[in-house]
Every structure is written in structure tokens, then in C-alpha cells.
Amino acid sequence: MKPIVLLVLCFAIVNCQRNIEPIPKIKIGGIFYDYEFEIEEAFIKTIGVVNGLSEGEFKLEPVSKHLKDSDGSMVIEKYACDLLELGVAAIFGPSSKANSDIVSILSNVTGVPNLLFDAINEENEQQKAGHQLTLNVYPTQLILSKAYADIVHNFGWKKFNIVYDAEDENAPMRLQDILQLRDIHHEAVRVLKFRRGDDYQVLWKGIQGDKRVILDCPPELLVEVLEASIPFDLTGQFNHLFLTNLETPAGALEPLRNNETFTLNITAARLMGKDMENFLNTEFDPNNIDMPTRELLPDLIHDAIMLYFLALKEIASQYMIEEPPTYTCDTLDFNGETQRWRFGEYVNRVMRQIAPLNDTLFHHGRIQFDDAGYRTHFELEIYEPLDNYGLALWNTNGHISSEHVQTNISKKIVYRVATRLGAPYFMEKEEAVAANVTGNGRYYGYAVDLIDEISKEMNFEYVFVPVAGNGYGKYNKETKRWDGIIGELINNDAHMGICDLTITQARKEVVDFSVPFMTLGISILAYQKPVERKSWSAFLEPFQNEVWMYVMASILVISFLYFAISRITVGDWENPHPCNKDPDTVENRWNISNSFWITIGSIMTAGCDILPIHPTMRIFTTMFWIFAIILNNSYTANMAAFLTNSKMESSVNSIADLAGQAEIKFGTIEGGSTYSLFAESNETTYRLAFNRMQGADPPVYTKDNIEGVDRVLKNNGNYMFLMETTTLEYNTERNCKLKMLGDIFGEKHYAIAVPFGAEYRHSLNVAILRLAEKGILPNLKKKWWTNEDTPCEHEELAEKDTPDLTFDNVRGIFYTLYVGVFLAYIIGIIDFLIYSHQVAAEEGLSFKEAFIKEITFVLKFWNNKKPISAAGSSRSASRMSGGSDKSARSLSKSRKLSKSNKSSKSDKSDKSPDASQVEDAMERKSTKSLKSVVIKLK
């Protein structure tokens, strides 16, 4: 038991000794100017915070030294030596106002770390070698310079003024990348300097008329300097000011906030950090590491102390913290023989390594140093200082990203929208013009509706400003100025420009554009020749009148020749009754009627029910058939081509066709985006087209689309106009004499133009994308382009080789059919009346009675058998008599036989069957029966 009790007592004694050991106190020094009380206050309060976080491992004890403005490097050296004699483990400061590196040199000699929180001048290699123990949490000036150049480039500024304090030695270094632009754009970039106490109005008088200024000014002079610019119209809403001093507090411009004349666009840059609004005016809490500060330098000394604390804490977790030795400056050897504090060098290395790993305790994000101890990693926030809201973020990779934040802007701006008159984008109401109405109510069109929808999305007011000359914007090489809408934006006389304004590279160099609200291309506007109505005799047009006369004459001549050759051709005389082996006569079927029938049937490819027998006749017929086939096929081919020639497209179907011919002139708007496409393109077809336009006489260029459309209409197909498809579609919808030729080429985009660096461009982009997603943009296009009142019915080729024929093309054929049917019925009616008259005469009836009798039978369409009357018998006999002499003689014999049988007094029962048949046939007046009976009797 005793050994155990002794062991417990020993452990308790050791533990008690540890508890009563005093916590190591580490002195850290700070050198501040008298007026830097806020920095010193942050220094002391931050040390209080870290002492609460050290968990009893160590305590930091602040020691401060104060400088006056008149103190030089000797005083600074003395104060630094005093701190070293007190045994400080680190020295913070002094600020860049000291204009001396003596503290860094002493730190490098003794090994005591030196932490800076302010901008310093650029150092050469020898100076860097003497500052190895110095770390600066303020961003390096070289990277800041690059950041400002990136921001200005993002604004798109090509012409601006650089103004800075001549007494600030760091300003030229901080602005060096921007100043180098003066060597490139010496006519567009001017540099001006000022000094404290100068008459600042003289400065601004030299800038009067310019709209963009980069100002690097100490915060305490900023309001005074800017107030001096008000009389020179440099603070209007079309001016833009960029502030580069990172130390400018957010509320520095508060005195100008409610100034009605101070409406310019202000952009500033600040070191990005945590949201300061959450702890502004907050009472100090030792447990709250995010101590409230209001300015940049107090924030940075807070970060420097936190960095030193993290390094000590990291070391204390593994090793005992070594107290620094005391140094006397009189005994220091600057040649390197003084024993440096090794632990201090170790702390310096740990700070460099741990800085990038932890950013929770820093106000301004992660810290990273290069080999020389300069801070190389940080982010800049581009913000609006009047209303204190962020616009974008810049990082050391050179990337700028927009901040999507909601802001409440107290200033009310009425946006000026530059535009030009032109249908359907922007037009004047006739009644408003007559009543001399002014303002937005005077106008209507696609652009008016679009801006109205965008204003609802963005919640702003606007006023339309038609530009003088009604131009889009063309660069004048002599005056080196832009006119039209682009000129208004460059001069900051308008906030936006909207119409059928195309995004081009030349325009993008001087203004910014929103995302496109319409995509289009270029095509050819051509004259639509009126479709001529074919005459009723169009089906005769494949042959000339002379040919038709020859055809008719050929039919007549061939028919008579056919009749004549048939008379001399023995083989075509036939026995009319094949049963009679020894006929008295033969007959020839090729009378005049049949000859005409086979001739016409051959021409019409209809054929005939009787055909020649003898080789002579067949050879004659074959030769005529060859003639008929060639004639018929020639007519068919010519008819198809002739009736569809009005639908044949022009030989120009593309820009390549247009450029490759010389008969049709073509042009576009001079100096417009379409002109630029052809003028600047290296594509062979476009260059050829441009050369033809350039060499045309008279000139083929126009001042606007209206002139181009009028020129197309007046030249009736001898002039074509190259224009954007949107305007082309609008015109073809409303004028049936216009049409589009060929495919669309040269894709383009319409967008809203804004001045360079306009902070509302992002909001415009968002609004346009929302309108597209809601389907409003397509609806607006349909509303202003579709013409439902007077739609044009252009003839279009079907997607096949042979177009469809309309009734107008072939109506003559129908007219011919109608006339033929009409004539046939007229002849038939006349024949029917003659027949009725014969019936009346032979049957002793009146003409009316005979007509009613016959027409009644005709109307009984279900009865297909008709008794033959006397008139019918005589007509039948008459027709048969024209057939052959043999038939006539047979008919005569039959009639005589009938008469002899009738005069006989014998009874019917005694009659022979043959005689009875003949009598019955005569009673029926049937010629066919008579012929058959006669044949049987023979």
C-alpha cells in the first residue's frame, strides 16, 4: 500500500506544480502614427480576442509606440530598437506612411518577425534580401495593378482619363498596367495629377466632355475632389467613375448621396471579405473573433495578428514556446554576425505554411504569400459605393464573375432608349402625329412592346429618343466618330439602343450588347412577277397557228387520199355476205365517212373498229400512224412545258447564282451589318458578290431598307436586294409582288446595345431570358410579322419535278369539250325534230302530236325497245341504200315477194312458213329481218 500512496502523492505534487506554473506571456510590439488610433484599437482588441482563444497556452501582451507625422527614419529606428530591448516576439507596422524599411531590416537581422498591413513600394532584389522576416497581408501592388486593368477591360473602356494623387508614391505602381494603355491608345487615354490644396476645378475643367474617369484618391479628399467636378457636367447619369483606392470606406460618399446633380455611375473596388454589415456598430465581445472594424487597415492588422496567433498555437501544440532574447541596437551587427532568434524564423515559416489552410479567423479571406513575403491571393469586389452593393468579383486568376444580388436603389433614373423609325420595330401612330402627341404614346411597334415587357421585369421607367438621321450607327473615318444609335451610346446620351440592330465586331468594340432577343440571317429579296392568266386557248399554244393549219389540212388531204387509194386497191373490196360463195357484187367499206374517221382516230390515238386488209393500205396507214404518234407526243411535251412556264423559278436561287451572273443588279444598305459581312469576309462567294456591288454603275447601295424595297419593285426583276430575313419576311407578308429567293446565310443576332460598362446590362440579360422562357418573345414576333388581313398567295413549286396544273392552265380543253357536246346535242335535237315531222306526215298526225308521242317514248328511259314507224322504216331503208347495190336489190325482191303474197286469196293456214315470215317482217318494217329472210329464201 505504501508504494501506491507514495506514487499518488508524487503525481499530485507534479500536477500541482504544473497548475501553479505561470502562463507564458509573449510581448508583441506595434508602431503606429498618432492619428492611426483605429488601427491601434484594432491591434489591442484583436490581441484580447486571441488571448481568449489560446486556451491558457500563452498570452499576448501588446506594446505600442507612437509616431508623429514629422518623425523620420531615425525615430522609427529608435522605437523599433526600444521594442527589441523589451524582448518583443514580433513587430507589427509601421504603415506605408513611414516611408522607411528600417523595421524590416532590424527584423531580418534579429530574427524577430515583422508583419505589415499596408501597401509598400516595389522592392528590388537587394531590398527583398534584407526583408526575409517580413510578411505583408496587404495585396501586392503588382497584382492590384493587373486587377484594375482587368476591370477596366471588362468595362470595355477604350477612351478614359486617369487621375491620381501626385503625392502618393504607390499610385503609379498601383495603376501601372492601366497607365501602359496610354502608350497603346495615346489619343484615348489621358493622365492627370493633383495635389492636396490644389484648385480641383482646374483639374476637372481639363476633363470636361469626357465621360469616363479612373480616380485614385485618398479617402479623406474624395468628397472635396468630386464636388469640384459638378459644375463641369461630369456627375450626370451618363458619366462613369471608377475608384481604385481600396481604403475608401463604403460610406465615404454619403455627403453626395442626396445631391440631385450627383447621378453618375460610380464603381469602386474593395478587398473582398466577410459581410461587414453583420457586425458594424456591434459592441466588442471577447468570444466573437469577428471583431467589428470599419476600414481596411484595421481589418488587415486583425488578420495579421490572427495569422501570428495561429502559427504560435500550431507550434505550442508540439513544442515549448521560446521567449525571444533582448537586443540592443548599439550591439547589432548588420553584417550577419548577430545571433538571430531561430524560434522567430521558425514562426515565420509556419505563418507562410499555415496561412493558405485556414481562413475562418480572417476578415478578408484566405492569405497566401510568395517567396518575398507579398500577399498573392485575394479577391476584389467591384461594388457601387453610394448604395453599397456588390456588382462582381475579381480573383487572382483574372476571372470576373457577376454577383447576383437584389438591391434597393434610392436614385430614380429614367432610361433614355435610342431607336430609329422603321417597321415593324418602331413606328409613329398617324393619329398621334396629327395631334402632335409627344412622349412614348406617339410610337408603336415590336421594339416598343419589347422595352415595355423588359421594363416590367426590371421595374424602370424609360423614354424613347429617335436618333437624328435615323441611322443605326456608322463609323466616319474622317471625323473618327460614330453616328446614329451607336454614336448616342458612345457619347452617353442614351442608356440603351434598340431596333433591328445587329451585333457586329466593329460595334462591339465601342458598345456592349445584351443577349440576343432575335436570331436571323440574310437572304435575297426579289420581285415576284404577277402570274399571268392563260387564255382559254392555252392548250393550242404548244403549236403555232401555222402548225395547226397544216395539221387540219393534213387530216383533210390524208382522208381523201385514203378514200382514193382504197378505190384502186382490189384487196379491200369485200363480199358483204360471206355465206354467199358466189356474190354478184362486192363492197368497199372505206367511204369518205370511214376515211375521215380512221384519220381522226389515229391523230387522237383512239383507234378504229375497221382496219385495212391489203398491204398497200396497211403501208399507207402505218406511215400515217408514225406521223400521228410524233405529232401527238410533240404536242404533249410542248403542252406540259408551255402550260407550266409561269411556274418556272428564276435562274437565281442562291447568293452564288447571284454573284455568278451579270444581268441582274443587286445591293444592300451601305455601311450596314450586311455590307460589313460581304466587305470583311474572306469567303470566295461573298468577296465576288461584294466586288460586283462595288463595281456596279449606277451604285446599287441604299441608305435604308425602304429604299431597297422600292428599288426592287420599280425594276421589275432586274434588281435584287440583300437584306436581313426578319425585315424581308415582314415585307413579303405585306406586298405580294415581293418574294424571298434562296436559302438563309450569314447568321446574325439582334440585341439591345448599351454603353460600355453599363451595370444594368446583366439585368437586361436576365429580363430577356425570362421573356424567352415565358414565350413572350415568340408571341411578339408573331404579332408584328404575321399579316392576316391581306395574305399573299404566291405560287410555289411543289417538291417534285412536274408542278401541278391549275384549271386556268387547261380550261380551254374543257371549253372545247363543252362546245363539242353542245354542237352534238344541237344536231341531235334538229335531227329529232326532222324525224318527228316525218312521223307526222306518214302517220297523218299533227307535228305537235307526233313530237309529244316521240318525246314521251324518249322520256321512258327504262324502255330500250322501240317499234319502227313508217318514217323509221323509210329512214332505215334510205341508210341501207347507201351501203351497196346488192343490198338494195335484195330489199326490192323482198318487197315484191311480200306484195305477191298479199294479193293471194288463200287462207293463212295454207301459207308456207317462208311466206309467213316475210309478211311478218314487212309488217314490223324490220330491214334486218327482211335481209335475213331474203338470204334464207335464196
DSSP three-state, residue 162: strand
The residue with greater pLDDT, 681 or 874, is 681
Domain coverage including residue 339: 26-134+297-376
**Is 747 a residue whose pLDDT tops 90?**
no
Q: What's the predicted TM-score (pTM) here? A: 0.56
Least confident residue range of 1-5, 137-141, 166-170, 208-212 = 1-5
Q: Are strands 443-444 and 587-588 parallel, antiparallel or unpaired?
A: unpaired
314 and 256 in a common domain:
no
Label residue 752 by pLDDT band (50, 70, 90).
very high
Instruction: Say yes or no: 165 and 265 in one domain.
Output: yes
Task: State percent of the chain over pLDDT 70.
Answer: 77
- The listed range with the strongest mean pLDDT (45-59, 179-193, 396-410, 609-623) is 45-59
> Is residue 153 domain-shared with residue 259, that is, in the same domain?
yes
Chain segment 407-437, per-residue pLDDT in tens: 444 455 788 999 999 889 999 998 988 888 8
Structure confidence by residue, pLDDT tens digits, 313-347: 888 888 888 888 888 888 777 676 678 889 999 99
What is the pLDDT at residue 515? 94
Q: Sort strands 189-194 and 240-243 into parallel, antiparallel or unpaired.
A: unpaired
More confident residue, 618 or 901: 618
pLDDT in tens, 62-101: 999 999 988 888 999 999 999 999 999 999 989 888 888 8
Contact call for residues 531 and 646 (beta carbons, < 8 A): yes
Q: Identify whether residues 78 and 192 lie together within a single domain.
A: no
Residues 78 and 227 in one domain: no
Rounded CA-CA distance 147/282 in Å is 32
Which range among 104-118, 400-414, 749-763 shows the weakest confidence by mean pLDDT? 400-414
Indicate if 444 and 331 belong to the same structural domain: no
Q: 150 with 268, same domain?
A: yes
Strand, helix or coil at 31? strand
**Do residues 687 and 656 touch, judged by C-beta distance below 8 A?**
no
Domain assignment present for residue 928? The answer is no
412: CB partners within 8 A, 6+ apart: 461
Please indicate, yes or no, if residue 532 is contained in any of the structural domains. no
Predicted local confidence at residue 571, as pLDDT? 61
Residue 356 lies in a domain: yes
pLDDT digits (tens, 9 = 90+) for 369-388: 988 889 988 899 998 888 88
CA angle (630 as vertex; 629, 633 as ends), nearest 5: 80
Q: Looking up cell 492588422, which residue turns up? A: 301
Last residue of a domain, one of 641, 658, 673: 641
149 and 255, same domain (yes or no): yes
Percent of the chain with pLDDT over 90: 25
Q: Is the pLDDT of residue 861 over 70?
A: no
d(CA 151, CA 157): 10
- We report the CATH number of the domain holding residue 319 as 3.40.50.2300
The residues, ordered by sequence, that sit 6+ positions from 62 with a Cβ below 8 Å of its Cβ are: 27, 28, 29, 30, 43, 44, 47
CATH of the domain at 593: 1.10.287
Supply the pLDDT for residue 92.
95
- Domain-embedded: residue 762: no
Whether 899 has a pLDDT exceeding 70, the answer reads: no
**pLDDT band with cut points at 50, 70 and 90 for residue 885:** very low
Where among 595, 623, 641 does a domain terminate?
641
Based on the domain organization, do 268 and 395 belong to the same domain?
yes
Lowest mean per-residue pLDDT among 269-278, 330-339, 347-356, 823-832: 269-278
Residue 341 lies in a domain: yes
Question: What is the arithmetic mean of pLDDT over 17-32?
Answer: 76
Q: How many domains does the chain have?
A: 5
Q: Quick one: 40 and 174 in the same domain?
A: no
The reply to whether 511 falls in a domain is yes
Q: What is the mean pLDDT of residues 784-807?
A: 58
Q: How far apart are alpha carbons 670 and 704 in whole angstroms?
A: 8
| One domain, residues 420 and 345 | no
Instruction: Locate 561 and state its grid cell.
Output: 387520199
Query: Residue 149: is its pLDDT beyond 80?
Result: yes
User: How do residues 154-183 score in pLDDT, each as one tens digit?
Assistant: 887 778 899 999 988 888 888 888 888 766
Q: Are residues 162 and 266 in the same domain?
A: yes
